[in-house]
Amino acid sequence: PYTEGPKLVAAMEQHVKEYDVDIMNLQRADKLIPAAQKGGLHEVRLANGAALKARTVVLSTGARWRQMGVPGEEEYRNKGVAYCPHCDGPLFKGKRVAVIGGGNSGVEAAIDLAGIVGHVTLIEFGDQMRADEVLQKKLRSLKNVEIITSGQTTEITGEGGKVNGLNYTDRNSGESHHVALEGVFVQIGLVPNTEWLKGSIELSQYGEIIVNDRNETSIPGVFAAGDATTVPYKQIVISMGEGSKAALSAFDYLIRNSAE
């Protein structure tokens, strides 16, 4: 049946409460201290000074969309500014939208949106798109797509509480331009919430927690799941499945490494 993200999370939390699980809301993990030996206790320190110790830890801190930081972006968030083309694309059926970013995610988003919306304007900061050539070729073949390179978005404009366009500067000529549209999809990457893990666990060049197919990290007994990891395709249903895998791997670790 149809549901929405917040409702799904609330239902899952209610389900968890039916078990003997302590839920600590409004707490932020600040540091991970690995066990001194395999099978020992790992320590997670919280920002409030408290410390949690356990033989296994599952990290699922998620990721946040990288923002442009321009005027209007936050003001019109969910009022025309979006970050998930798969989630929000259908809301812009037949309308004019822009995609910010010419990497793989941006070009893939533009291709997907072109089949739904009336027109797509893709704006890339660099002098050329960075996506795989096969994706660029597909994008260029679409008749309702315009590609702008060397474009720096400077402002998202709106009227009546919703987006009505954006301003960008041509980085070669210095000229400013306005594009009239009704939606802006920001596709300049995700930022994993792993800053607190630097120096304690192996991370990718993008700050993602490196995991194998069993959700194991570089630290025995520490597992990870979801958007904070190197697993591709950042989608709710995938993260839920990865969470189940991580929990099963943690259970398997416990029974194979019983405390002495």
pLDDT tens for each residue of 170-181: 999 999 999 999
Q: CB-based contacts of 134: which residues, under 8 Å, 6+ apart? A: none
User: What are 110-127's pLDDT values in tens digits?
Assistant: 999 999 999 999 999 999
- Lookup: tokens for 169: 């500067």
Domains and CATH numbers, the chain: 5-64+191-256 (3.50.50.60), 67-188 (3.50.50.60)
Q: Which of 1-10, 37-46, 74-83 has the lowest mean pLDDT?
A: 1-10
| Other CB atoms within 10 A of residue 156 CB | 27
Where does the chain have alpha helices with state H?
5-16, 85-88, 104-114, 133-140, 236-256
CA distance 156 to 70: 7
Task: State the pLDDT at residue 4.
Answer: 81
Strands 119-123 and 96-100: parallel
DSSP at 201: S
Reported confidence tier of residue 5, pLDDT bands at 50, 70, 90: confident
**Averaged over 20-30, what is the pLDDT?**
95
pTM over 0.85: no
Reported confidence tier of residue 28, pLDDT bands at 50, 70, 90: very high
For 26, 60, 80, 238, the CA distances from 63, given in Å and listed in that order, are 17, 9, 21, 14
Chain centroid, CA 177 distance in Å: 29
Angle between helices 104-114 and 133-140 (to 10 degrees): 30
How confident is the prediction for the chain on average, in pLDDT?
96
Active-site residue numbers? 84, 87-88
User: What are 59-75's pLDDT values in tens digits?
Assistant: 999 999 999 999 999 99
For 56, 112, 227, 260, the CA distances from 38, given in Å and listed in that order, are 10, 46, 27, 11
| pLDDT at position 218 over 60 | yes
| pLDDT at position 260 over 60 | no
Task: State the pLDDT at residue 259.
Answer: 59
Percent of the chain at pLDDT > 70 equals 99
Percent of the chain at pLDDT > 90 equals 92
Strands 96-100 and 183-186: parallel
- Please, what sign has the CA dihedral across residues 190, 242, 209, 4? positive
CA distance 71 to 67: 11
User: What are 162-205's pLDDT values in tens digits?
Assistant: 999 999 999 999 999 999 999 999 999 999 999 999 999 999 99
Task: State the pLDDT at residue 157.
Answer: 98
